[in-house]
């Protein structure tokens, strides 16, 4: 029988800890950690993610500022706003919600954010620090996955781990974290992607599979060995007449048929998603603490 990895429950516990730390900073230093989010346009998924982030900030007592731009905003206008936030002492952490409109150079935007305020962990400085294993802001989703693995005492040492997907947001960073020289970590990692010829052959040998492809129900039971740990990062919105919103979320894993073969598995929703938001809160708290204690 598989064990469900309950991201919602773990996230709630961590939120309580964060709320306690936020209160402590306020009482001792008269400061409240502050996150600023820049949102371009009205993309439905982005609106939802930002609303979740705002709600989570309120739950733990972190100040939240949302800055909106039309999706036809010029790159210069956006970069000027980022620069303004970089220089604003009251702002501890900042994110620009991705994806961005076509006229905006995503990499340029990421690089324009002060690495000390880059709570998404996408700036090359933070990526570089993570790669060599020194303190850095870790991208929120990979950080959340590592937290779940730690919470459930899942043994990663010497295990075979297959990561499906090579994005800068999930695939690449989680592969680095899974092979870092500490626990959790020390796994032997294989990264698969759209050009990999023998994905099934590789996943069948894996003790741990992290599916971050963005392709609904890609991983099926014939690709998973008995007793594997499966972490599903996928969130594909599909139309549904059974839900109030008119859509539902599907993961990269065909849960109903894969779960019976697993030792541990994350659901979608309620698995990695809540942990992603909690990791962002943790990074914002860390940014505020660094300012106070450094």
- Please list the active-site residues: 53, 97, 120
Structure tokens that stand for 276 in this block = 């992603």
What pairs with residue 192 in β-bridges? 164
φ, ψ of residue 63 in degrees (nearest 5): -65, 140
Give the DSSP letter string of 23-44.
HHHHHHHS---EEEEEEES--H
- Both tokens assigned to 7: 């991201």
User: Among 92, 168, 93, which residue's Cα sits nearest to residue 131?
Assistant: 168
For residue 219, give the DSSP letter: B
Angle at 205 between CA 201 and CA 211, to 5 degrees: 80
Contact status, residue 109 vs residue 140, Cβ threshold 8 Å: no
Dist CA 174 CA 185 (whole Å)? 10
H helices of the chain, in order, are 7-29, 44-60, 75-86, 106-112, 124-132, 140-151, 171-178, 199-203, 255-258, 272-293
Which secondary-structure segment (H or E) carries 250?
Answer: strand 247-250
Spatial neighbors of 206 by CB under 8 A, at least 6 apart, are 160, 161, 162, 190, 224, 225, 228
3-state secondary structure of 264: strand
Strand 160-164 to strand 63-69: parallel, antiparallel, or no bridges (unpaired)?
unpaired
């Amino acid at each position: 029988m598989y064990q469900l990895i309950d991201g919602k429950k773990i996230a709630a516990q961590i939120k309580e800890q964060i709320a306690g730390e936020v209160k402590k900073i306020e009482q001792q230093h008269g400061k409240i950690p502050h996150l600023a989010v820049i949102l371009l346009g009205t993309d439905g998924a982005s609106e939802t993610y930002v609303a979740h982030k705002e709600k989570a900030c309120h739950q733990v007592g972190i100040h939240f500022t949302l800055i909106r731009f039309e999706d036809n905003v010029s790159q210069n206008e956006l970069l000027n706003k980022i620069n303004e936030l970089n220089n604003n002492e009251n702002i501890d952490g900042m994110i620009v919600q991705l994806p961005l409109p076509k006229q905006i150079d995503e990499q340029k935007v990421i690089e324009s954010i002060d690495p000390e305020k880059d709570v998404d962990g996408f700036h090359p400085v933070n990526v570089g620090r993570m790669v060599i294993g020194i303190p850095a802001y870790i991208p929120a989703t990979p950080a959340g996955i590592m937290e779940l693995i730690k919470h459930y005492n899942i043994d990663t040492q010497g295990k075979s781990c297959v990561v499906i997907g090579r994005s800068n947001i999930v695939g690449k960073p989680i592969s680095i974290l899974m092979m870092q020289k500490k626990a959790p970590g020390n796994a032997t990692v294989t990264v698969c992607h759209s050009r990999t010829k023998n994905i099934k052959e590789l996943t069948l040998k894996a003790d741990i599979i992290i599916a971050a492809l963005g392709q609904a129900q890609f991983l099926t039971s014939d690709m998973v060995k008995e007793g594997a740990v499966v972490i599903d990062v996928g969130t594909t919105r599909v139309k549904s007449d059974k839900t109030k919103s008119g859509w539902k979320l599907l993961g990269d894993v065909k849960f109903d048929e894969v779960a019976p073969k697993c030792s541990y598995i994350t659901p979608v929703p309620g698995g990695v998603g809540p942990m992603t938001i909690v990791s962002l809160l943790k990074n914002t708290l860390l940014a505020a603490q660094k300012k106070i204690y450094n």
